[in-house]
Structure 1
């Protein structure tokens, strides 16, 4: 998620960059950033700290509770600076010791100010310094005066000082240049909402949120947290609130004033015409609303808004049940039954306490429209409310089941469990009972991706099959996919495949995928690729077929198993996009993991890490199980030995406890990649052998390539030949450049003379036409190693340099060092160092620059990284400035590290 301070803050950040540039040149700068609470002052400092290359960054802040303590702020600053008071002149040190209470006496403000200046300039002795002081309005007055005195005398030093304050008063820092942070524009507010949300939200609700928050990022994001929660459902429903001391204030209102205020809180759109009509229904005089305006509760622009947006949920929660019923009934009466049929039904439903079959049917009918208006969350809310108003037990259970499915899709597993439990209390016919069993099985898999959960899904599918239910085929496919996660710790995908029927009479994407995957695990790769490839390509064909969207996740994994990098790229990107657009928080971590693995193989390690951070945020907020596979493989490829081994061991232990075999296999693959990068081929061979012990989707093929290199380098050609036979069978079957390139490289590792060289060159030719940059680089590495051992040092340098540069650009440290050692072994007299221009960039800028260099537009980059196009444009502007370029065409050249000489 993009920082709230970045959207709409481009001008502010560019101004700070100019000030930092002046400070680096020896011209001290002081800037005061002013703005109200929540406007993004601290976030601006976060960005400033992250975007100050080459500067020593020191950060502190004022503390409200210490404002009355003289020089408490200065003492905190000295602690942050790790200041050595013995470096001060004796009078200054004595003055500071008095100020800090070390010795008795009265502190001399002049000497304390000089001491503060000396301590600040001391930070900049080694390199330019950036001093960040947040919440300066909470600094005690003596500290503020000493700082103002000190920073006014930094003109000739390479120091930039940035302070933030919420006051506009004539404070100690009023004399310095200031930047005012104001509220975001409507366009920027909407951009912030888009970056912070998943799925759809009613446009009228979004407009009200931005207007009510007056563009304050904190208030916008606080509202979005409620809107995106499953309970709020995109505008329908209400989240809880901390009523605090407002209860007494609301209690002081008259009955009419209180009712008018609840009316404003109950309408999520803020439509003034609707509220006036509802007020008439309630018999409220227009003067009541004017009084609420005068008392500072409400304000009216194009919408009826709360002066403080945090009041809205508080007011609603403090209302009594009868008050809420009365207000919602009035809103329903005032709502147009044609233009806003779903909103009218919702207000009626909230005001209804007992069963109402007619209204329940209306809610069920409106659920589809709610989904179009505000996403899957709105649909779930309508279906749940419909079920609660249903009198017939069988129909009630069916509607509860439909609501549970919708809650499951938006990631509200706990709510889905409760709805399923309620559905089970009714008189269930056979179909509903079978569907209920299937949903219980799906929830079991969400909780633990293990063998018992996969077995439960398979039994549920068998029940559907025996009843000739249309969902049976889908159920078997879900069970088979679940078995791939249980992996070696489950009954086995082969066993599941043998229990999976393939004699389906109905055609379709689901059937084709199921038949192909069943063949893949029951018969073997060669028997399945001709079935799976056309199906996966059809799913990628954007034909709008419902099943095509539903099975994008497994289709992307199959594309990787088929070594089709273009298809893999397309499918993983679309899977993430659709999961976000539909608000399917249940599917999004899976989609992000698949995309992370693709970015890793494409050499975009920074983007992969960004996606991992998003996965961590999602799983933390949902309290669900983690998704460690992407992080495991990224650690292995990066080659940080200690961190990688720690993660591998922790993941293995947790996976054993959970029964998640795919993690065990991925941990082994990570260990094999890590050991090959470090040149520890015996360890790599042992790890790779464990990976290929079972023919797991995707991981088996990747494990073969690691095993062949490790076996060839550790003097075990028999093991390498056996793995090569399996790899060659797959490569010849699919015929992609990725597969054929890896086969040629693997054969070259076992060949001699001209045949080895021909195969290495063939491998490079194939892989040069793919997206899998890291595999091209590793091929150039082993080719360069072979050339050096053949005594062809000049030729070896060409390959080793190319390998080293590509691996360094990706961030594959261990492989880079291996390539560099080999390069030095060629005897080149000029020792080399890698000049990586990416070091000038932040991780966010690196990811954006890499994608822009590949030709993606700003909107396309934004979709990949969950950023607005304006944010992408801002980052690219900074990248161009840092690189000294003016076009995207120059990006790829800058992103590939140069080599500069270091002559001893």
Structure 2
């Protein structure tokens, strides 16, 4: 179609192509009504990018149920290179080959497939920039669309571009820039209408047609050809209503009715064959006795074009043909196509055709469709598995098989990140027809739905469902029983005291009675640690917690066990004040998640790591991890702009310069309690205590502190106890302080780490008499100096300096107070720095101003890349760590070198220390 107008849209496309030529990347999503000119815009950008490597495809409605179908078609030109793998890392190579059906292997995680596609296209773009044009994106299979969207969100400096087009109303994946494509302005619309009209165009008639079509080019072209010269000249009234918009499909249906019988039968075949494969169409037509040249009248009418495959002239022609056929005609077409679809790679297509031949239920066809669902699962196509398995369930005459297949579809929907769809599918499951193991599976799927949908007490309700599933699996399924119990325990730790549906003690009893069956596995030590902690006391549990961590960190522990147990293990190490074990565990889990592309796990690991760094006082590192998490969630198409108080209220409190975040922390409490999220509530507790101790608002913190000395079966409030002691002392409530110290003494002594013992000495010093306090403060400083707990060490210096000043030992107080001030300023802990500065000023010491940096600061992403490069990581290794391409790493490194004024990697470490 010739362009009329569209200067704005073409300008954006031209700019994208220009960026690609400069080695940059970009993505645009064109959206507008059918026929509005999106395909013409894609034609334009393809022509403009003639010197680039252009990959073009369009979504096909009947192909939407096939896993990674569009991805396979996009990469057809690279089949040989895909088999070799090229520059891809082994796991990425395997994932991409499995997704494209080129190899057998474990199901491919869609995010790992996305990382592999990003790396593959970036590698191809080193020779020539690559532009991928995807028309009718609304008709893509969901697995491919998610992969393409993931790549689009991660593009930066690879020389790779994506241009998508989809109809108005399509739910575009989040995070992709949208270019609305409106109708043509009236002058351009009239120009187009005149170009197709058979004779003169009356201005009033033309204006009315333009208004009726909204300037839609396809509708204008259709009407310009369909209306008579008398209509267009104004000598004959226009038909009412004009065949535009929703009436256009009926217009095409009437055109089809005017064609010969053989042509109509051929069109039904073509509309039933998703790929437009001419070979299959010719053979199927022969089976149905349709003459070879039956397509001619449809071509003459401009309804179809036969090139390498059949192409329908307008998106509404196919549904007009298919919808206008009788069910008998459609089934006959699909039966013929099923009989001739015999290529091994088209087994799933054949199964889909077979399914369309059945008016009711058919066990044999249901089995065939289920096998297609299983093949989709082996390639990681969870969305496709949902589609196939749902159809297999609908075809199943046996009630038990039907229930099992609906359950399998719901399970796949949970894995695909679609809990609402899973909820609907679960509603179709007749649980009474399931086997005992099937009923247990249904409980686990329900737990995934509840946890995925969220809502009040979601974690607790999901935990109770996992516990019920474990009981249902029992000794007959020991492996699945353990997994269900582990998930129940993790959810209980997350819910903490917010567990109205079940209790830690109930889970502990279930572990004792159920997990002992069968040979021991890698998660047994974790479950045993939970059991002892919930059933006995913190002090008695310490040896088992250490044993569980040792088992989890053992070199021969399978990656699956580490990835499944890091959450519980991180809690254990936090309870023990064991920074080394926690760091080692989170780093190992992080590495596994990045290698596998398990980005859902990675998001949780980053959040956990940010909290861990905050507890140590490594606030810049915590913020960098939070930034990584936001970027990751954006890449995954999830909301990235979550309020900080919902993820890390303690970091918010440490950064505060005054009592400003008090309202935000109150909201954190309300959010956590509404959602039944005890982990977020604990962070809110910590945030309130930190803010109070920094700003001196002890009255606000006292009620919160009182909550933390109540019975705590899992010892989850242990890390807050030193702050509770100080709040009690500062607020004049020595009873509260003494109660907190008594609990802390037992737990810190049992833990025995320098961090725990240093906090115990610091807390004892606050309540000690004049003659005993100083050696306790000195001991606390000595012990905490051996750890990475910089925040707790800074507080120890501060408390010691304050104690010395209050005893009029001003000169002695200056050194610890100056140390505390320097540490808090380094941390950028505003309120605590002000508190230390006030105390230091009260000793008569002179305060120095904080020097301002002279060089341009690195962004959090640049800083992480710089540190990895300084440690010797290659661009490919950094790309895997950062979930970006190697080309983008190189782009950022060049900016780092400029900002730090260094010529190469060899000087990075020195420059970063400066």
8 Å contact kept, 2:869–2:878 = yes
Structure 2 counterpart of 1:878: 895
Alignment of 1:346-495 (within 5 A): 348-349=354-355, 354-365=360-371, 367-424=373-430, 427-446=433-452, 447-448=454-455, 449=458, 451-465=460-474, 471-491=480-500, 493-495=503-505
Structure 2 counterpart of 1:51: none
Structure 2 counterpart of 1:561: 575
Are positions 1:634 and 2:651 aligned together?
A: yes
- The one of 674, 682, 691 equivalent to 2:708 is 691
Aligned residues: 714
Cα deviation digits, residues 26-74 of structure 1 (max 9, x gap): xxxxxx9997546776999xxxxxxxxxxxxxxxxxxxxxxxxxxxxxx
- Structure 1 residues 825 and 441 mapped into 2: Cα distance closer, same or farther (>3 Å)? same
- The one of 280, 283, 298 equivalent to 1:281 is 283
Cα deviation digits, residues 648-698 of structure 1 (max 9, x gap): 222333444444444333322211122223244454454333234353768
Cα deviation digits, residues 598-644 of structure 1 (max 9, x gap): 35444323324325536876999599999964242332232265663
The offset of 1:394, in angstroms, is 0.9
TM-score with structure 1 setting the length: 0.63
8 Å contact kept, 2:607–2:626 = no
Q: CA RMSD in A?
A: 5.8
Alignment of 1:36-185 (within 5 A): 36-37=11-12
Structure 1 counterpart of 2:234: none
The offset of 1:519, in angstroms, is 1.3
Cα deviation digits, residues 171-220 of structure 1 (max 9, x gap): xxxxxxxx9999788899999999x9635479999999999x97268979
Equivalent-residue separation in structure 2 for 1:480 and 1:626 (angstroms): 27
Are positions 1:594 and 2:573 aligned together?
A: no
8 Å contact kept, 1:838–1:846 = no
- The one of 522, 533, 538 equivalent to 1:509 is 522
Equivalent-residue separation in structure 2 for 1:378 and 1:532 (angstroms): 42
Structure 1 counterpart of 2:111: 198
The offset of 1:260, in angstroms, is 9.1
8 Å contact kept, 2:573–2:582 = yes
8 Å contact kept, 2:55–2:133 = no
8 Å contact kept, 1:559–1:568 = yes
The offset of 1:758, in angstroms, is 3.8
Equivalent-residue separation in structure 1 for 2:343 and 2:826 (angstroms): 62
Cα deviation digits, residues 452-505 of structure 1 (max 9, x gap): 554454445444449887644433333333333333333474443454340422
Equivalent-residue separation in structure 1 for 2:52 and 2:300 (angstroms): 22
User: Residue 215 of structure 1 aligns to a residue in which SS?
Assistant: strand
Are positions 1:496 and 2:506 aligned together?
A: yes
Structure 2 counterpart of 1:227: 143
Structure 2 counterpart of 1:143: none
Larger mean Cα displacement after TM superposition, 701-710 or 841-850: 841-850
Structure 1 counterpart of 2:541: 528
Equivalent-residue separation in structure 2 for 1:305 and 1:577 (angstroms): 47
- Structure 1 residues 256 and 588 mapped into 2: Cα distance closer, same or farther (>3 Å)? farther
Are positions 1:803 and 2:809 aligned together?
A: no
Structure 2 counterpart of 1:901: none
Q: Which has the higher contact order (CA 8 A, sep 6+)?
A: 2
Alignment of 1:828-867 (within 5 A): 829=846, 831-836=848-853, 840-849=857-866, 858-859=875-876, 861-867=878-884
Which runs of 5 or more residues in structure 2 are unaligned? Answer: 1-6, 20-43, 57-70, 76-87, 97-108, 151-165, 171-215, 220-244, 257-262, 287-291
Cα deviation digits, residues 408-433 of structure 1 (max 9, x gap): 23321112112212112763344433
Equivalent-residue separation in structure 2 for 1:698 and 1:626 (angstroms): 28
8 Å contact kept, 1:376–1:582 = no
Larger mean Cα displacement after TM superposition, 387-396 or 493-502: 493-502
- Structure 1 residues 641 and 578 mapped into 2: Cα distance closer, same or farther (>3 Å)? farther
Equivalent-residue separation in structure 1 for 2:117 and 2:306 (angstroms): 17
- Structure 1 residues 653 and 36 mapped into 2: Cα distance closer, same or farther (>3 Å)? same
Structure 2 counterpart of 1:550: 564
Equivalent-residue separation in structure 2 for 1:351 and 1:202 (angstroms): 39
Structure 2 counterpart of 1:113: none
8 Å contact kept, 1:633–1:667 = yes
Cα deviation digits, residues 220-262 of structure 1 (max 9, x gap): 998989436799999xxxx998599698499479869967985
Equivalent-residue separation in structure 2 for 1:225 and 1:338 (angstroms): 20
Structure 2 counterpart of 1:518: 531
8 Å contact kept, 2:525–2:551 = no
8 Å contact kept, 1:441–1:453 = yes
- The one of 551, 561, 565 equivalent to 1:538 is 551
- Structure 1 residues 730 and 431 mapped into 2: Cα distance closer, same or farther (>3 Å)? same
User: Residue 198 of structure 1 aligns to a residue in which SS?
Assistant: helix
Structure 1 counterpart of 2:886: 869
The offset of 1:405, in angstroms, is 1.8
Equivalent-residue separation in structure 1 for 2:639 and 2:632 (angstroms): 11
Cα deviation digits, residues 849-890 of structure 1 (max 9, x gap): 466567665555545543333323322322331222345676
Equivalent-residue separation in structure 2 for 1:557 and 1:313 (angstroms): 57
- Structure 1 residues 299 and 748 mapped into 2: Cα distance closer, same or farther (>3 Å)? farther
Alignment of 1:208-223 (within 5 A): 215=131
Cα deviation digits, residues 707-739 of structure 1 (max 9, x gap): 234345556666445434544544444455544
Equivalent-residue separation in structure 2 for 1:560 and 1:317 (angstroms): 63
Are positions 1:765 and 2:782 aligned together?
A: no
Larger mean Cα displacement after TM superposition, 729-738 or 629-638: 729-738
The offset of 1:510, in angstroms, is 3.8
The offset of 1:358, in angstroms, is 3.5
- Structure 1 residues 226 and 746 mapped into 2: Cα distance closer, same or farther (>3 Å)? same
Equivalent-residue separation in structure 2 for 1:464 and 1:759 (angstroms): 50
Which runs of 5 or more residues in structure 1 are unaligned? Answer: 1-31, 45-165, 169-178, 268-273, 899-904
Equivalent-residue separation in structure 2 for 1:855 and 1:205 (angstroms): 23
Are positions 1:752 and 2:773 aligned together?
A: yes
8 Å contact kept, 1:576–1:591 = yes
TM-score with structure 2 setting the length: 0.63
Equivalent-residue separation in structure 1 for 2:591 and 2:310 (angstroms): 33
Equivalent-residue separation in structure 2 for 1:317 and 1:787 (angstroms): 88
8 Å contact kept, 1:480–1:493 = no
Equivalent-residue separation in structure 2 for 1:862 and 1:727 (angstroms): 43
Cα deviation digits, residues 9-32 of structure 1 (max 9, x gap): xxxxxxxxxxxxxxxxxxxxxxx9
